């Protein structure tokens, strides 16, 4: 099967083995749901309860294919998808360790107006050091999954931001895999890139991050 997008063609290897095809289909479905999950943004949904509902429904779909989202990752994506006016609340929640539950974080978001939260502090310096590391990790993960193409000009700056945040995560022993780099690259692209996002996410295995970036750069030239 050949996928074409604006003059580019990509070939998906086909097999007569139905089992192999089934595995490929599962992996493609997984990639597309992960892109959908990490691409969910508050500004696309009104009221905010619809935003939370979308996160939950996508997480449920991932769980159905044996790729459940942990409660802490639900919290991180909830925060990553919030716009800049929520920054004080995002910092407050991500500075708490352990992170609040997803239900509690949603409550904080719902009640954002007029509420204040206090970060628990400990006199134990060793405990504080561990907490600081976990807080730093959470904040970098929120930053990584919250990186959006529209916040950066030119597009190379968007890619550079993804790379720099991934490098920061690697420095604290939480490296981002190449495939997750590709998924976040696609998740952060706006709707005008949807055909290309579908093309790339329908390939298995996924292209490398560098190859995916090249495809995005080509599409950017077409859109300009």
Average pLDDT in the chain: 86
- Cis bond upstream, residue 92 (ω within 30): no
pLDDT at 120 over 50: no
Question: Residues with Cβ < 8 Å from 215, sequence gap 6 or more?
Answer: 8, 196, 199, 200, 207
Q: Residues of the chain with pLDDT > 70: what percent?
A: 83
Q: Which one, of 223, 212, 198, 222, lies nearest residue 163 by Cα?
A: 212
Interacting residues of 137 by C-beta distance below 8 A, sequence separation 6+: 169, 172, 174
Place of tokens 């919250």: 146
> Which of 171, 143, 108, 145 minimizes the C-alpha distance to 119?
108
Q: What is the pLDDT of residue 114?
A: 45
pTM of the predicted structure, to 2 decimals: 0.77
For position 128, what pLDDT does the model report?
64
**Residue 9 bridge partners (DSSP):** 4
Position 222 scores a pLDDT of 85
Measured distance CA(95)–CA(185) in Å, rounded: 26
| pLDDT above 50: residue 180 | yes
Q: Residues of 135-155 as b/e, b for ≥16 C-beta within 10 angstroms?
A: bbbbbbbbbbbbbbbeebeeb
Q: What is the pLDDT of residues 58-96, one digit of tens each?
A: 999 999 999 999 999 999 999 999 998 999 999 999 999
Is 149 in contact with 158 (CB distance < 8 Å)?
Answer: yes
Mean pLDDT of 108-137: 63
Q: Higher pLDDT residue, 213 or 21?
A: 213
pLDDT single digits (tens) 145-171? 999 999 999 999 999 999 999 999 999
- Ramachandran sector of residue 7 (left: φ over 0; alpha: ψ -120 to 50; beta: rest): left
pLDDT per position as a tens digit, 1-32? 443 444 444 444 444 566 677 889 999 999 99
* The pLDDT value given to residue 11: 44
**Which residues, listed in sequence order, are joined to residue 16 by a DSSP beta bridge?**
none
């Amino acid at each position: 099967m050949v996928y074409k997008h604006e003059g580019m063609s990509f070939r998906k290897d086909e097999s007569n083995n139905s089992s192999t095809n089934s595995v490929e289909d599962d992996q493609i479905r997984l990639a597309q749901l992960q892109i959908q999950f990490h691409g969910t943004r508050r500004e696309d949904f009104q009221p905010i309860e619809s935003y939370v509902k979308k996160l939950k429904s996508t997480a449920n779909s991932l769980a159905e294919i044996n790729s459940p989202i942990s409660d802490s990752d639900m919290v991180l994506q909830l925060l990553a998808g919030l716009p800049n006016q929520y920054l004080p609340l995002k910092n407050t929640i991500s500075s708490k360790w352990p992170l609040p539950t997803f239900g509690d974080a949603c409550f904080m978001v719902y009640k954002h107006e007029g509420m204040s939260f206090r970060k628990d502090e400990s006199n134990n310096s060793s405990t504080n050091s561990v907490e600081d590391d976990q807080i730093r990790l959470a904040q970098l993960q929120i930053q990584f999954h919250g990186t959006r193409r529209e916040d950066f000009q030119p597009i190379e700056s968007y890619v550079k931001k993804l790379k720099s945040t991934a490098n920061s995560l690697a420095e604290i022993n939480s490296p981002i895999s190449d495939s997750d780099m590709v998924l976040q690259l696609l998740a952060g692209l706006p709707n005008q890139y949807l055909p290309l996002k579908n093309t790339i996410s329908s390939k298995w295995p996924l292209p490398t991050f560098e190859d995916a970036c090249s495809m995005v750069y080509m599409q950017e030239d077409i859109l300009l």
